[in-house]
Amino acid sequence: MIATELSYDFSGRLALKGSEPSCTAKPSQLTTLPLRIVFAILSHLVSQDLLRCSQTCNTLRRVVKAFPALQYKIELAAVGMQNIPENTLTDQKKLSLLRRYLRNWSHLSWPCLTHTLATTFDCDKWEISGGVITHMNHNLEVQCTRLGSSIEGRPTHKWVHPIRMDKDIRDYFVDLYQDLLLVVVTDDDVVAQALLLSFTKGGTHPSAQMQALELPASARSTNHFHIRGDKLACLSFWDVTGWQGYIFTVWNWHTGQVIMSYDSAAHSDVHAESPDIIQRDYHMFTFLDDKHIAFAVSVTSTEDIRCQAFIEIIDFTKGYEAFATSVNFHFPKIAKNTLIVEASVARNPAPPPTLLQEHAPFCTSEDETVVAMSVGLCDLEEIDDYLDLAFFIPTNRLLHLYHEARAPPTSLSVSWTYPGSTGVHHILVHPPRSI
């Protein structure tokens, strides 16, 4: 469908109704072609080239605006999203939904969501994946709530997924994009295993060659999982008679192959800490792409004060030596007399176009995802004075600085507001082996 202001003049060239063509002085060869051929040519251009083409003359500008398929491609790229080709909606409908989506996010109305999120979770085991909130109750059932979406044209849906097994269940993790249910179980309270199950069909996941992965830490450890494609990563925290540490492991969960395993006790020589640092704590992590992982890290000084927070990026394909060649993004001291209580990092990954998105016309582009880091602070003199500071950094910018890290350290500008410290500050990007 095209706009009515487009018509043909007697020469067969594109013209604007009620006005002379803008290219009458010397018409380009493109505007002398039939409209359907012009559209076919423009359809092969990427969004940047479409914009450049529309700036050459009024005629082509009107052509680009007249065809929903072309305008949808431009507006989609402008907000860092990508089309899902499996979706069968018309281009006009997709463009309309995209504009509605952006309009809704520009004018959020949180009260309309209270009826959906007013669920009381009766345990601490819960996850969110693919727009579905899941939590495990005391009856070993995973209660699921798929949030409704007017954009995707579906209502809120709730159901219960039972987990039937005779083992002690310690934790679970779901990736609904891949129909994966990972259940951490133990038989003897010493060794823990991660069962690789199909969420919808039960039994071992069809893509897994092994029924379970043995976790390197003890059954009483706290585990934090993330998954990207066939890569499964786990950060395990252990505490044995006063000794504390962590083990970070990455598997190919399809084959069961261990890609890397790092033990803070066994590989303590990898990190050459400064003399005034007595402890390095890893809080959370997230995948950046198929090779790189970002950690939220804090360090404790000899004065027993958690004084510094930073993002540490590794290339996990290098094995445990990845931590020896990591790059650290140091956050400067935010304010005087502050203690770092906690740190976390997360990323909004671009979901794969699966059956779970059969109604969604678009999703976040992989190149435009954002890494968010949160740092919890409190005043040393007023412990109850607690504040969360959040930083948002584009993933591609973070990876670019990682690859370009050299001595002396480069910097990344950020801004925050905190009592006694406001304005623009800099995150120092330290090269490998630097603290």
Residue type at position 268? S
Q: Which residues contact 20 (CB under 8 A, 6 or more apart)?
A: none
Segment 80-92 shows an average pLDDT of 83
Segment 105-122 shows an average pLDDT of 49
Classify strands 362-364 and 81-83 as parallel, antiparallel or unpaired.
antiparallel
Classify strands 338-347 and 243-252 as parallel, antiparallel or unpaired.
unpaired
More confident residue, 243 or 135: 135
| Percent of the chain clearing pLDDT 70 (strictly above) | 68
Rounded Cα–Cα distance for residues 364 and 344 (Å): 22
Residue 79 exposure: Cα atoms within 13 Å on the Cβ side: 19
pLDDT category, 348, cuts 50, 70, 90? low
Query: Which CATH architecture group holds 6-106?
Result: Up-down Bundle (1.20)
Q: Which among 3-12, 67-76, 220-229, 305-314 has the top mean pLDDT? A: 67-76
The DSSP secondary-structure symbol of 431 reads P
Burial pattern 60-94, b for ≥16 Cβ within 10 A else e, equals bebbbbbbbbbbbbbbbbeebbbbbeebeeebeeb
Tens of pLDDT along 131-188?
Answer: 788 887 777 788 888 777 766 667 888 888 887 777 788 888 888 888 898 988 887 7
Closest CA to 227 of 103, 375, 127, 330: 127
Segment 334-338 shows an average pLDDT of 58
- The chain-wide mean pLDDT, for the chain, equals 75
The pTM assigned to this predicted structure is 0.71
pLDDT category, 5, cuts 50, 70, 90? very low
pLDDT category, 393, cuts 50, 70, 90? confident
Rounded Cα–Cα distance for residues 248 and 163 (Å): 27
Tens of pLDDT along 124-143?
Answer: 566 777 678 888 777 778 88
Residue type at position 224? H
Task: Pick left, alpha or beta for residue 55 (phi over 0 → left; psi -120 to 50 → alpha; otherwise beta).
Answer: alpha
Rounded Cα–Cα distance for residues 416 and 55 (Å): 38
Q: Which among 128-132, 279-283, 292-296, 298-302 has the top mean pLDDT? A: 292-296
Q: How many Å separate Cα 80 from the centre of its chain?
A: 13
Tens of pLDDT along 196-227?
Answer: 999 888 889 999 999 999 988 877 788 889 99
Backbone angles phi, psi at 203, to 5 degrees: 75, 175
| Ranges of CATH 1.20.1280 domains, the chain | 6-106
- Check pLDDT > 50 for residue 296: yes
Q: Give the pLDDT of residue 295.
A: 92
- Check pLDDT > 50 for residue 7: no
> 101: exposed, middle or buried (C-beta count within 10 Å: 0-12, 13-18, 19+)?
middle
Q: What is the DSSP string of 308-367?
A: EEEEEEEEGGGGGGGGGG-EEEEEPP-STTEEEEEEEEEE-------GGGTT-SEEE-GG
Q: Which residue has the tokens 């469908």?
A: 1
Q: Give the pLDDT of residue 249.
A: 94
